[in-house]
Amino acid sequence: MRDMKITDNVAMLGAGGNFGTVYPALTWDDNHFVLIDAGFPGQANALIKAINDAGVQAKDITDIILTHQDIDHIGCMPELLKIAPAARVWAHEQEAQYLDGRKTPIKLVALLENYDTLPTDRREWCDMLKAGFAERRLQNIQTLTDDEVMSICGGIEVVHTPGHTPGHICLFLRESRIMVCGDAANIKDGVLIGANPQVTYDMDLAERSFAKIAARDMRGAISYHCGYWANTQQ
């Protein structure tokens, strides 16, 4: 699925690369341009092109909201912050400690604990991941809490959806009634489903979080790895 303008002020961006396509979201008003999630490392050119194709200059991004800590969601942060150095970076208060380096990202912890027993290719992947996180440590993160509403772009409501990671959040765009789901939801055969168990640290939490999402009165949802789901019941 390619880039997609969903409403007058919401677009889904398709950024491709060696690790596949992901779908960050973009929303805006007269004074703000907000990017939600920032792709894999190596996708900066594709992501910046997608932003520009949506009619927004990457240098004008005012805010970047990260749904969680994983490398495929923070991968292009160095390039984006170089282009838009004044952009504010936002994340859930529980997730900030992983993003700024106070805690080791949870996907990396498991690899490091078993490093000596890993096959060579997994050790190489672990080394790359460790370096990648170190190069993308973020400072001056603005923290968010559950149910908080950012009074920009028609209202961006923070929905804490732990499970995939401890501080994972979804963003409910109130004006358009679009839920930006990060990795808390996927799409299969046209149906919105929950998190992928293979990359989720607590599936019980994730299932409860998905129920929280599914109960919302939404027009549609953006799944980071699957694209756009339209609620045909609306």
User: What does the pLDDT read at residue 1?
Assistant: 46
Contacts of 232 (CB under 8 A, 6+ apart): none
User: What does the pLDDT read at residue 163?
Assistant: 97
CB atoms within 10 A of CB 154: 17
Q: Which domain holds residue 185?
A: 4-230
- CATH number of the domain enclosing 204: 3.60.15.10
User: What does the pLDDT read at residue 2?
Assistant: 65
Distance CA 160, CA 92 (A): 8
CA–CA distance from 43 to each of 24, 72, 76 (Å)? 12, 9, 7
Per run of 10 residues, the mean pLDDT along the chain (length 234 residues) is 85 87 97 97 95 94 98 97 98 98 95 95 95 97 98 98 97 98 97 96 97 97 97 84
Number of compact structural domains in the chain: 1
Residue length, the chain?
Answer: 234
pTM of the predicted model as reported, rounded to 2 decimal places: 0.96
